[in-house]
Structure 1
């Protein structure tokens, strides 16, 4: 039996259905979950020229200028948009959301000072921070990233739970036979131990529990989490 596999993210499962009501599938029920791959957190950043020095000053400015602080994202439902939504909920602020077509465009908008803040994935933010072109305010994962040990998490600065990242995993068509699921799980376990994945983890990606059960359990938690963030009951 031949199967088509797909890489799916938590945004596709838990956020897109809340934003796009035209979606005609249930991401929990309509796929067979195989295994998570990794979590890629982000770093909240401002331009080196920005007067904003830290997360506290960003939040203070956003409270003073509701919808006056422009936050660039890579589009509705994306991981950067998730950072924005979570930050607004956690700090009782409202930013001016400026969606671009990609994370690269959002980063360029920040560097050109068209916007004041955005978020960049940990696996690509290093050169911007090391060159001084971007000032990091906080990592969006619940724990610090080993490659960027001096950047505190948003959670530790707020003193509240904050954990946002792009969690990726492999899914198969619904109804995939259990024997094939098991073989795919075993193959993914080997992939996650591979040299290439270890390089990703060293660059800022974070390992996630392998296996179908862990993947589906996490996605159910993501659905509940983002319904709360976006105020959906």
Structure 2
């Protein structure tokens, strides 16, 4: 045997030794229940979607998926828990827009780095917003809002669910893009902001589509525009902000699946494939799109690139609009 052939044989043996554990993990994973951390309280959209997906995912993987709520600090507590967990594929997190893309620009000190401490696995869904006003308000179109705001700067009020939330960011983007000034009115959550809209306390707000639909369907509020890239099946007659000349105001509150940095690639691959299958199921698609949200899916690389782009986008807006925590 020549020296070259001996070296080739040694290299092949080394490669097989390195790849063997990965192949074994791909076959054996998961060997025990998986914990899926939700960084917000039970009953919210993140929690509901985690529990809905946990059922088919558990069936496909053959192991229980346990949803564990760890709310607090605008989602930072739960995300920090995931970032510090063992990178073995058994602790996962519902990665949300706020902690992964907005909070780094808002908080003077973050307990984790969204782009260095996680392994993105898959986008789950995007939740666009809709600009709504009370049905008895004079605004029949987005054009009416812009004209009124320019005629009376600072007199129109636009509510939001708190500094740095998707409601607030959408409003700030709209104001900047349209060159108008409306008075932002913050509330402690989407529920109180919605009640303020219905009572006439504020003129309008960007509201999550799934939350806005009941009032729209009841005729209590009027939708003026949606922030999705395309018209929504749940609101087919409502134009997008892009259609009306404001493509910059294409916004979605999103969530996806993340794991601690260093999670084995074989586990990431298996989780990505499994969650993509769960998202493609007709009943799951209806649960997501029925209330006005959009299906995610895709590769870990696509989700990682999206998170990076969102970080750049919202950091720029937080700085230019001088957004501060309440």
TM-score range, shorter chain: over 0.9
Tell me what 2:235 maps to.
148
Tell me what 2:166 maps to.
79
Once residues 125 and 233 of structure 2 are traced to their aligned partners in structure 1, the CA distance between those partners, rounded to angstroms, is 15
CA contact (8 A) 2:118 2:258 kept: yes
Once residues 22 and 97 of structure 1 are traced to their aligned partners in structure 2, the CA distance between those partners, rounded to angstroms, is 26
Matched, 1:101 2:184: no
SS in 2 for 1:230: helix
- Deviation of 1:62 after TM superposition, in Å, equals 2.0
CA contact (8 A) 2:227 2:252 kept: yes
CA contact (8 A) 1:43 1:119 kept: yes
Tell me what 1:137 maps to.
224
Matched, 1:224 2:323: no
Matched, 1:170 2:257: yes
CA contact (8 A) 2:89 2:268 kept: no
Q: Select between 20-29 and 223-232 the one with higher mean Cα deviation.
A: 223-232
Q: Select between 43-52 and 55-64 the one with higher mean Cα deviation.
A: 55-64
Once residues 283 and 209 of structure 2 are traced to their aligned partners in structure 1, the CA distance between those partners, rounded to angstroms, is 17
2:142 to 46, 52, 55: 55
Once residues 146 and 27 of structure 1 are traced to their aligned partners in structure 2, the CA distance between those partners, rounded to angstroms, is 32
Q: Select between 183-192 and 105-114 the one with higher mean Cα deviation.
A: 183-192
SS in 2 for 1:170: strand
Tell me what 2:3 maps to.
none
Once residues 297 and 279 of structure 2 are traced to their aligned partners in structure 1, the CA distance between those partners, rounded to angstroms, is 10
Question: Per residue, is there more helix in 1 or in 2?
Answer: 2
Matched, 1:193 2:280: yes
CA contact (8 A) 2:162 2:186 kept: yes
CA contact (8 A) 2:133 2:197 kept: yes
Gaps of 5+ in 1: none
Specify which structure has the bigger relative contact order, considering alpha-carbon pairs within 8 angstroms and separated by 6 or more residues. 1
Paired positions, count: 232
CA contact (8 A) 2:279 2:297 kept: no
- Deviation of 1:2 after TM superposition, in Å, equals 5.4
CA contact (8 A) 1:71 1:96 kept: yes
User: What stretches of structure 1 move > 4 A for 4+ residues in a row?
Assistant: none
Tell me what 2:302 maps to.
214
Q: If the length of structure 1 is used for normalisation, what is the TM-score? A: 0.92
- Deviation of 1:218 after TM superposition, in Å, equals 0.8
Gaps of 5+ in 2: 1-87, 321-326
Does the C-alpha gap of structure 1 residues 2 and 231 become closer, same or farther in structure 2, counting only changes over 3 Å?
Answer: closer
Tell me what 1:35 maps to.
122
SS in 2 for 1:158: coil
Deviations 1:123-179 (A, max 9, x none): 232221121100111001121101211000111112544310111101111111111
Once residues 304 and 89 of structure 2 are traced to their aligned partners in structure 1, the CA distance between those partners, rounded to angstroms, is 22
Root mean square deviation of aligned Cα: 1.7
Once residues 115 and 162 of structure 1 are traced to their aligned partners in structure 2, the CA distance between those partners, rounded to angstroms, is 21
Once residues 121 and 208 of structure 2 are traced to their aligned partners in structure 1, the CA distance between those partners, rounded to angstroms, is 24
Tell me what 2:111 maps to.
24
CA contact (8 A) 1:142 1:162 kept: no
Once residues 162 and 113 of structure 2 are traced to their aligned partners in structure 1, the CA distance between those partners, rounded to angstroms, is 21
Q: If the length of structure 2 is used for normalisation, what is the TM-score? A: 0.67
Tell me what 2:291 maps to.
203
